[in-house]
Structure 1
């Protein structure tokens, strides 16, 4: 298991793909109230 394994984090980094193991940081996924508080 390593760089050639699609199911591991290291493999996903090597391939440049994403998924459950290596999620993106979604700033849009926060609730509307949290976004409004952050703007104040």
Structure 2
């Protein structure tokens, strides 16, 4: 199983954004946010 790294600073976030810049789409799982849980 692949463990995803924690993004904890601006440089790491910028690196991730650069890697995803050419993607056709990006999916974000928000299920961990209890106020935004969809049933």
Q: Same fold (TM over 0.5)?
A: no
Task: Report the TM-score when normalising by structure 1.
Answer: 0.26
